[in-house]
Chain A
């Protein structure tokens, strides 16, 4: 039976392990055909920024091509693809006020602008809620 999970995340990209942990949970839920709502709050709205680019690693001496540095926007785009393949829904909500204060409005295809009200409504309808705050 399909379940719906809502996850709130706060951390910006490239700062903590929390984002990877959250995305792992999202990946697993979607692989099992479950629906997932993500409420990206505060710094987490930067996870889906379109302009993210991989870079070389001068300490390791690797080029951009060799380094294949991940970007969170590509990880999340891949999760949207996974949802489509598995007949599940990924509803990624970027907190609008958080977006505005950061000038972070240019994101990849998939996420939508929302508000705490959307998070509350998702929580009401979900089978499980997981809050992963910034520490």
Chain B
């Protein structure tokens, strides 16, 4: 069964979790044998920007041990053979140039998304 996970909401409790829960979930599913792909759209396209640094969070004396690294988590998903698609117009609307993004992404035009969805048995929109 081919699954497409669409991630739209970004930075959803990523500091509390030290990662993005949906990227994490999909990596866990992949590790358990799922044939999963990712489509990043909306604000989640910002996860593809390389070199993100969210270190430094402190409440009182308690410091966050491991800042979330969604760009590196995406690179690990790509290395695990998870196709990661990103909506080209959503990048452009946010002023995110291709040369600032991590490698291994597959751009998809917004009008091509329906055809992409047709290639999967199930589509999960997070």
Contacts and interface: CB of A to CB of B under 8 A. Distances in A.
Residue among B19, B24, B59 with max Cβ neighbours from chain A (10 Å) = B59
Given A14-B16, A16-B13, A17-B13, A82 B61 contact: yes
Contact of A74 (B19, B27, B62, B66): B62
Contacts, number: 70
Contacts of B11: 17
Contacts of B66: 67-68
Residue among B28, B31, B60, B66 with max Cβ neighbours from chain A (10 Å) = B60
B65 interface: yes
Interface in B16-69: 16-19, 21, 24, 27-28, 31, 57-62, 64-66
A120 to B, nearest CB: 27
Contacts of A24: 57, 59
A69 B64 CA distance: 8
B59 A75 contact: yes
Contacts of B58: 27
- Chain A contact-residue range equals 20 to 34
Interface in A101-130: none
B34 to A, nearest CB: 13
A53 to B, nearest CB: 14
A75 B65 CA distance: 12
Contacts of A23: 59
Interface in A67-82: 67-70, 72, 74-76, 78-82
Contact of B31 (A59, A70, A78, A82): A59
Contact of B60 (A14, A57, A70, A79): A79
A96 interface: no
Nearest to B18: A69
A83 to B, nearest CB: 9
B21 A14 contact: yes
Given A68-B65, A68-B66, A70-B65, A79 B59 contact: yes
9 contacts: A14-B21, A15-B13, A17-B15, A19-B13, A20-B57, A23-B59, A24-B59, A67-B18, A68-B65
Given A14-B13, A69-B18, A82-B60, 6 more contacts: A13-B16, A19-B16, A27-B59, A67-B66, A70-B16, A72-B16
